[in-house]
Structure 1
Amino acid sequence: MTRTALISGKGRLPQLLAERLQAAGENPLLAEMEGFETLSPAHEAVERFRLERLVPFLDRLQDQGVTRAVFAGAVHRPRLDPSLIDPATMQLLPRIMAAMQQGDDGTLREVITLMGEWGIDVLGAQDICPDLVAQAGVLTDAQPSSQDKKDAMRGFRVLQVMGAADVGQGCIASRGQCLAVEALPGTDVMLAHLADLRARGVELPDGGVFCKAPKPDQDRRIDLPALGPETVAGVHRAGLRGIAFDAGGVLLIDRDQMLAQANTLGVFLWAMDAP
């Protein structure tokens, strides 16, 4: 019998996936890493774990009949406490540390490999909720102009370079210039910084497009980029005209609310076939 482990990070996505799994008649095992409590306030039974005790956690998943797992929500690398590492996890430490030296993509691929060694297949959030991703096309009343389309193409070229360097999944382009790139602090910080620059009168090109896409060689079962209503609001505050994102490669959280907000603010949402 199939049982799914939902391994949660921060944000709305874990709750959306939990609801979808339960509506489909499943009894998912809910899990979250210490410091990233998202599901436990709303659910009584949530498995808590630490990376220092990864092997006991994987053993518990196996013992409870888990055969597949889905990762959902934002996490960052926690500070490890060497005193908490158990002997079995210590055996894996060289592999884990080597993967972490290869960046986020390398770390995530190693996580998927480890899951497979415990007989657990990793699914993408889009496999549980296919409606989280959009088909190609403009989703909103507002339409991208010819300049917006040029900016989007420019932004996607920047993202290809960023992705090859394992830097981030978002950038802002305007009038052929790259105004900002997304790094570890994330999308909200990047958009807020641009809004602050405009508020302080820093001379910048008008308009612009926020571009979002997975990294070129990213395993799309884990860490797909996501957009939500707060992203639309941030784009509007930053004085941008819209969002161009990879069709099929970006998760839309609270999609109906997101589209309604975009239409109210006059922000376009364009699902692109990435060049």
Structure 2
Amino acid sequence: MIALIGSVDPLTSHVAAALGRTGVPPVLCVVGQETSLVAVPPEPLVFRIEHLGTLMRHLSDLEVSTVCFSGKIARPQIDPRAVDPLTAPLVPRLMDALQKGDDGALRTVMHLFEDAGFVVRSVQDIVPDLLPPAGVLTVAQPSPGQEADSARAEEVHRILAEADIGQGLIVRNNQVLAVETAPGTDFMLRSVIGLARGAVFFKAPKRNQDRRADLPVIGPGTVEQAQGSGLAAIVIEARGVMVLERDRSVAAADRAGIVLWVREPRS
């Protein structure tokens, strides 16, 4: 069996449906305020981070051998008073993880699961068609200015990645207008409404990121927000960003006249 750990959102629902079609319905697990491991599928198991060791034991009892981190995973605070006996040995590593950026924190948690005997699989390994082929997917094609802004965005993105900060940014005329940070992509796109007309939204995984978790994802909602912010192009790294509901996303971009470019990264 396989467990999906993260949040119940469109990406997780898509992965769960894909697994269900293979006859292997997953066990859904989400971080919450209280631990409840008696849910009846399709309801998710809920666990506090202070009970992570108990979750692992429960998944083993269910004969879960594989885990996949899917959807947004909130960064919780650890209450030492709530740590249970099975989680106590993990606390030093969990506390260290919470001091790191997203990639560093997720690497630590994945290693904890591996040390407990679980195999970690990526979303794109389970549903490979979420990664679109390289090329321009829309009728609108990138202009020379948008190509230059995409190259500038990639350059800045690689610098930010060294600090484990964000997976996206907005560039216009070679100037960085916004950078994705902890509040996420939606917040960044809302922050530039009225300020970024004609700009390029660039999104890619962090360089050297462990791609088994937190691979970037866009979908129809991303396109709608980009349109609302006045952006002219969405540029994503080939083989590095997943696209939910690809046909709907491309159709929405075509209606808005937005370029959707799956761009090969420069070496």
Q: What's the TM-score bracket when you normalise by the shorter of the two chains? A: over 0.9
Distance 1:35 1:246 in 2: 36
Structure 1 residues 146-155 or 42-51, which shifts more? 42-51
Q: Is contact 1:62–1:118 with CA below 8 Å preserved after alignment? A: no
Q: Which residue of 1 aligns with 2:90?
A: 92
Paired residue type of 1:159: H
Residue-pair matches, total: 263
Paired residue type of 1:193: S
Q: Which residue of 2 aligns with 1:63?
A: 61
* Cα offset, 1:100, TM superposition: 2.4
The SS at the match of 1:140 is coil
Distance 1:256 1:90 in 2: 47
Q: Which residue of 2 aligns with 1:77?
A: 75
Q: Is contact 1:174–1:208 with CA below 8 Å preserved after alignment? A: yes
Distance 1:234 1:35 in 2: 30
Distance 2:11 2:259 in 1: 23
The SS at the match of 2:29 is strand
Name structure 1 gaps, 5 residues minimum: 199-203
The SS at the match of 1:88 is coil
Q: Which residue of 1 aligns with 2:117?
A: 119
Q: Is contact 2:78–2:95 with CA below 8 Å preserved after alignment? A: no
TM-score (norm 2): 0.93
Distance 2:9 2:58 in 1: 25
Task: Tell me, yes or no, if structure 1 residue 250 matches structure 2 residue 248.
Answer: no
Q: Which residue of 2 aligns with 1:149?
A: 147
TM-score (norm 1): 0.91
Task: Tell me, yes or no, if structure 1 residue 207 matches structure 2 residue 205.
Answer: no
Distance 1:42 1:176 in 2: 52
When the two chains are superposed, the root-mean-square deviation of aligned CA atoms in Å is 1.9
Q: Which residue of 2 aligns with 1:128?
A: 126
* Cα offset, 1:103, TM superposition: 2.1
Q: Which residue of 2 aligns with 1:241?
A: 232
Paired residue type of 1:177: Q
Q: 1:29 to 1:127 in 2, by over 3 A?
A: same
Identity %: 41
Paired residue type of 2:50: E
Structure 1 residues 110-119 or 145-154, which shifts more? 110-119
Q: Which residue of 2 aligns with 1:104?
A: 102
Q: 1:10 to 1:177 in 2, by over 3 A?
A: farther
Q: Which residue of 1 aligns with 2:188?
A: 190
* Cα offset, 1:35, TM superposition: 5.6
Q: Is contact 2:27–2:41 with CA below 8 Å preserved after alignment? A: no
Distance 1:27 1:244 in 2: 34
Which residue, out of 130, 138, 141, partners 1:140?
Answer: 138
